[in-house]
Amino acid sequence: MDLLEAIKVRHTIRTYDGQPIAGQDLETLNKMIAAANAEGNLHLQLVNGQPDALAPFTVHYGKWTNVTNYIACVGQDDASLEQRCGYYGEKIALWAETAGLKTGWVDTRTGSQLPDAFHVADGERFVLCLCIGTSEKVGRPHKVKSVEQLSDVTGQTPEWFARGMEAAQLAPTAGNQQAFTIHFDGTNLSITTADGNLACVDMGIAQYHFELGSGIDHARWAQA
């Protein structure tokens, strides 16, 4: 399975078998987290083999069972933090699908006291968790908006843009809100989002999906 196939088959999983990540999967995952932190100026941290791992959080949506592993999405607190968490976290989520692991983005809220399982340095902020592990569950497709609803193109739509939108259309979003819009005016490519819960995280996820589908380089995006 390649990453484009992973986009089509990956769905949120909320029930796991409670096993820690080990062996080659753990080695590769740690390398991917290190690369994401270096490239994305993040402080993603793997919590592995922690019984009832989500207990310290208030989980905003859904029932999560036997979660023992997650990636705490943490980084320097600036305007792009949530988008970077989504972008680089989804890189890991799609790799996980190719490796036979399951994942689920979970809206995890904390009180004044953060869990001891990971560290948030001065100037950093915790955003959310990406659960990861083994499961017999396969998940189910979510309802998606049309490409026309998710894009804004001036003139004729290039083939690469259409391919990118097909992949972005399948990006997981909080509450399936799909608040993002990808714009192309014939020269400039950009992505924006309406307001919504974790909408900027969703925007980063959709951005990565679009890159995979279209084959464009990350540098192609217009700078906000």
Average pLDDT over residues 170-199: 95
Q: Over 80: is that where the pLDDT of 223 sits?
A: no
Q: Over 80: is that where the pLDDT of 112 sits?
A: no
Mean pLDDT of the chain: 94
Tally the residues of the chain: 224
Q: Over 60: is that where the pLDDT of 104 sits?
A: yes
61 contacts 107 by C-beta, under 8 angstroms: yes
pLDDT, tens digit (0-9, with 9 covering 90-100), for 11-51: 999 999 999 999 999 999 999 999 999 999 999 999 999 99
Residue 109, both tokens: 């809220």
All domains in the chain, ordered by first residue:
3-133 (3.40.109.10), 147-217 (3.40.109.30)
124 contacts 75 by C-beta, under 8 angstroms: yes
Q: Over 90: is that where the pLDDT of 175 sits?
A: no
Average pLDDT over residues 154-183: 96
What does 12-63 look like in DSSP terms, one character per residue?
---B---PPP-HHHHHHHHHHHHHHHHHHTB--EEE-S-TTTTTTSEE-SS-
CA distance 122 to 77: 9
